[in-house]
Amino acid sequence: MSFNSSDIGAFQDIWVFCEQREGKLMNTDLELVSEGRKLADERGSKLIGILLGHNVEGIAKELGGYGADKVIVCDDPALEVYTTDAYTKVLCDVAMEEKPEIILIGATNIGRDLGPRCAARLRTGLTADCTHLDIDMNKYVEFLTESSTLDVANTTFKMEDMNLKMTRPAFGGHLMATIICPRFRPCMSTVRPGVMKKGEYSQEKADACEIQMYPVSISPEDLKTKVTDVVKETKKLVDLIGAEIVVSVGRGISKNVEEGIGLAEQLADAFGNAVVGGSRAVIDSGWLPADHQVGQTGKTVHPRIYVALGISGAIQHKAGMQDSELIIAVNKDETAPIFDCADYGIAGDLFKVVPMMIEAIKAENANK
C-alpha cells in the first residue's frame, strides 16, 4: 500500500467517524453527518460514514438518512468496545487504503483520544474542538461578515481556496481562529458535540445508502490494552444538549444558593420539558455538578428557550448558548454583557423576578 500524506491530489471524499456505544449511534454522529453533507455538496464530493464495531451493520443505514452516500462498516469482535489500539489501527488502515480528503470526528471522550492518535499515524494535522466548518469561500466570507470583527470588505481572500476552513475558539475564547491544513491529507477535525445541527431524516436516503463491509485485520500484537469490564456511572447525567428549554443560574444566586437553585428548578418545572444548567462559576463553587455546565468548557446548547439568571455573559459562557432560538436574561446590572445577546432582558433581582415569572407561566398554563 502506498500512502503519502503530502500527495494531496490522491485524496478524495469526506469521511465522518461514526461512534457507536453498545451498538447505538451517538447523537454527534447524526450532527456530523448532517454537517458533512453540506461540506460534501460544497466540495462536490461523496460523504462517507465509517463505522467500527461488532454486529453494527444494522445501524449503518440510519446514517444515510442524514446524508451519508455510503457507510464503510468494519466489523470485528475486537472493535465491540472502544480501545485506542484497535480503533486507531483499523481507522488508519482503511484511511491509508481509501485516502479520504477530510475526516471529521466528534470531540467526545473517544473522539478526542482517537483523532490525534490517527492524525499522528497518518502524518497529517488535526484541528481540535471546532465549532464551525466551511469549504466554499463565499460561505466562509459570509460567516466572517456575520460573526467576526474583521474588516471583511477591505480584506483580500483567495476565493478559489477549497481547503477545509476549521474555526475554533482560541486563547480562552477571546478570539476565534480559522485553521487550514493545506499541505497534508487527510485534513482532520474534531467537532464539539451539540454545535452542528442535526438535519431532517429521510427514509428514502437511508434506503439508498450503500453499505460496504470492509475487511479488518487485527492481530493480538496490535492490542496493548484489553477491556475487562465496563463500569457505568450510576448517576443519571443531565441532558443539556437535547433539552428544549434550559434554565441556567450564575454567581448571581450567591446571596442564597439553595433558594436560587430552587427557583431555577421551579421555573424549569413550570415550563415543563426544561433542565437546569449553570455557568462555570456555579460549577467551580460546587453548587451544581459538572455535567450542568454551559459554555466553552462545558456543553454547547441551542434550545428553543434559554434563560440566564444572574449570569454576566462572559464570552466563554456565550460560546455555549448564544445560538439558542430565544434568550431571556435576568440580571440586576443593566449593563451586563448577557443583555447583548438576549431577546428579552429583565434588569432586576432574580430573587424577585423569578417568582413572578413562575406565577405568570403557571397562570398562562392554567388558561390553556
Ligand X SMILES: Cc1cc2nc3c(=O)[nH]c(=O)nc-3n(C[C@H](O)[C@H](O)[C@H](O)COP(=O)(O)OP(=O)(O)OC[C@H]3O[C@@H](n4cnc5c(N)ncnc54)[C@H](O)[C@@H]3O)c2cc1C
Q: Per CB under 6 A, does 350 bind ligand X?
A: yes
* Closer residue to ligand X (CB): 103 or 283: 283
50 binds ligand X, rule: CB under 6 A: no
DSSP, residue by residue, 243-286 = -SEEEEE-GGGGGGHHHHHHHHHHHHHHHSSEEEEE-HHHHHTT
Residue 325 C-alpha cell reads as 432560538
Angle of CA points 4, 6, 7, to nearest 5°: 70
* Smallest distance, ligand X to C-beta of residue 321, A: 9
Look at the block and give the residue holding cell 417568582: 355
CB nearer ligand X, residue 114 or residue 309: 309
Backbone conformation region of residue 87, classed left if phi is above 0, alpha if psi is from -120 to 50, else beta: alpha
- Does residue number 71 form part of the binding site for ligand X (CB under 6 A)? no
Q: Are 276 and 261 in contact (CB under 8 A)?
A: yes
3-state SS, residue 328: strand
CB of 346 to ligand X, least distance (A): 9
Strands 20-21 and 24-25, bridge-based pairing:
antiparallel
User: By CB under 6 A, how many residues form the interface with ligand X?
Assistant: 30
251 binds ligand X (CB under 6 A): yes
Q: Which residues within the stretch 314-343 sit at the binding site for ligand X (CB under 6 A)?
A: 314, 316-317, 320, 330-333, 336
With respect to ligand X, which residue has the nearer C-beta, 161 or 359?
359
Q: Considering beta carbons, is residue 17 or 287 the nearer one to ligand X?
A: 287
Q: Does 310 bind ligand X (CB under 6 A)?
A: yes
Decide: 157 and 141 in contact? Cβ < 8 Å.
Answer: yes
Identity of the residue, 79 or 327, whose beta carbon is nearer to ligand X in the bound complex: 327
Fill in the amino acid letter for 151: D
What is the contact mask toward ligand X in residues 266 to 305, using x (rule: CB under 6 A)?
-------------xxxx----------xxxxxx-------
- Shortest CB 167 distance to ligand X, Å: 17
Residue 2 makes CB contacts below 8 A (sequence gap 6+) with: none
Residues that bind ligand X (CB under 6 A): 172, 250-252, 255, 279-282, 293-298, 310-312, 314, 316-317, 320, 330-333, 336, 349-351
